[in-house]
């Protein structure tokens, strides 16, 4: 008979209660920092057995989180800066025009919007991609007959859901989980690949099927060629077009280099951030 060597202590129970309370607060759409600080204090108080230990744990946890997430925060900052630069130049609009031309029906628009968000999120992360993809494609999707809430559902499921959980290119999210578990990010991606794909496919298919009736009921066939032609006129068309071409080429080059030199984890993240 195999005996377990893991012994649950009051520390484990407080941690579990803290996770449940934080999730409950999130479901109630309330801010969580105060709750997190309170449970950090309790964990330090119990773990170190002193009031001073509880107070120091709050500060040490902030320092630890800063060290662990600095790479992720730097990546988001650099990619957000890139997306803002593309928007200022007008390159983001030029990059979206080819996709917007085939957004003819609500159902087709839903898949195109989601897949575009998925691809951009793999290289730029979901948060910057929302500003980049949503600002241009969301109005066009609504004009194609897609409900705004349904369009937002597609963007979030494909971006913050599917792409962020898998995160095979930047590997920032898996790296955080891997560091906590003491294993490599590639191990999480390799072992969790079936889970990521099943979760992603089932979720997006369920969302589509639940909203298909509404999308088919509208059944609007709308040519948006005129809307595309009325897009913003860049102050520097040459620079806008150059960045619209060079940006996807640069990130495609990242993929080639990652495959050629077997760059993974933090190295892959550094490639994407450095390119941005």
Residue range 52-103, pLDDT digits in tens: 999 999 999 999 888 877 877 887 788 778 888 888 888 877 877 777 677 7
| Mean pLDDT of all residues in 201-221 | 78
Residue that the structure tokens 């200022």 belong to: 88
Q: What percent of the chain has pLDDT over 90?
A: 21
CA-CA distances (angstroms) from residue 226 to 37, 117, 187, 223, 229?
53, 24, 49, 8, 5
In the chain, % of residues over pLDDT 70: 88
In this prediction, residue 226 has a pLDDT band, given cuts at 50, 70 and 90, of very low
Q: In this structure, are residues 113 and 154 in contact, taking their beta carbons and an 8 Å threshold?
A: yes
Q: Which two tokens stand for residue 255?
A: 């993929």
Select the highest-mean-pLDDT range: 55-59, 112-116, 212-216, 229-233.
55-59
What's CA 51's distance to the chain center, in Å?
A: 38
Assess contact for 96 and 133: CB atoms under 8 A: yes
Distance between CA atoms of residues 45 and 224, nearest Å: 61
For residue 265, the model assigns a pLDDT of 65
Which pLDDT band, with edges at 50, 70 and 90, does 227 fall under?
very low
Find all residues with CB under 8 Å of 35, minimum gap 6, and list them: 18, 21, 22, 25
Does residue 103 contact residue 144 with C-beta atoms inside 8 Å?
Answer: yes
The mean per-residue pLDDT over the stretch 162-175 comes to 78
* CA pair distance 133, 171, nearest whole angstrom: 21
Query: Cα(217)–Cα(238) distance, rounded to whole angstroms?
Result: 43
Which whole number is the average pLDDT over 182-194? 79
Q: Where are the alpha helices (DSSP H) in the chain?
A: 10-27, 33-48, 51-89, 91-100, 106-124, 126-129, 135-143, 148-156, 164-166, 172-181, 185-218, 225-229, 237-261, 266-275
d(CA 138, CA 132): 10
Q: What is the DSSP letter of 157?
A: I
Cα–Cα dist 119/141, whole Å: 17
Predicted pLDDT at 217: 66
DSSP, res 236: S
pTM for the model stands at 0.61
How big is the CA angle at 132 (ends 125 and 272), to the nearest 5 degrees?
35
CA–CA separation, 253 vs 60, rounded Å?
Answer: 39
d(CA 160, CA 182): 25
């Amino acid at each position: 008979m195999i005996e377990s060597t893991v012994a649950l202590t009051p520390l484990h129970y407080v941690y579990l209660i803290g996770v449940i309370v934080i999730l409950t607060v999130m479901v109630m759409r309330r801010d969580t920092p105060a709750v997190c600080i309170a449970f950090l204090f309790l964990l330090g108080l119990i773990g170190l057995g002193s009031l001073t230990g509880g107070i120091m744990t709050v500060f040490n946890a902030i320092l630890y989180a800063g060290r662990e997430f600095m790479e992720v925060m730097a990546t988001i900052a650099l990619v957000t800066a890139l997306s803002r630069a593309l928007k200022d130049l007008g390159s983001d609009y030029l990059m979206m025009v080819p996709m917007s031309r085939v957004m003819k029906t609500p159902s087709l628009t839903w898949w195109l919007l989601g897949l575009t968000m998925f691809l951009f999120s793999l290289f730029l992360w979901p948060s910057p991609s929302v500003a980049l993809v949503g600002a241009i494609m969301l109005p066009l999707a609504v004009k194609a007959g897609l409900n705004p809430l349904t369009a937002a559902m597609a963007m979030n499921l494909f971006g913050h859901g599917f792409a962020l959980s898998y995160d095979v290119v930047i590997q920032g999210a898996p790296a955080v989980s891997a560091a906590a578990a003491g294993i490599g990010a590639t191990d999480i991606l390799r072992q969790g690949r079936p889970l990521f794909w099943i979760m992603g496919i089932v979720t997006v298919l369920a969302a589509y099927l639940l909203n298909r009736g509404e999308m088919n009921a509208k059944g609007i066939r709308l040519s948006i060629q005129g809307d595309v032609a009325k897009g913003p006129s860049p102050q520097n068309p040459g620079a806008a077009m150059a960045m619209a071409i060079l940006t996807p080429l640069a990130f495609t080059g990242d993929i080639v280099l990652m495959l050629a030199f077997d760059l993974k984890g933090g190295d892959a993240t550094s490639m994407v951030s450095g390119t941005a």
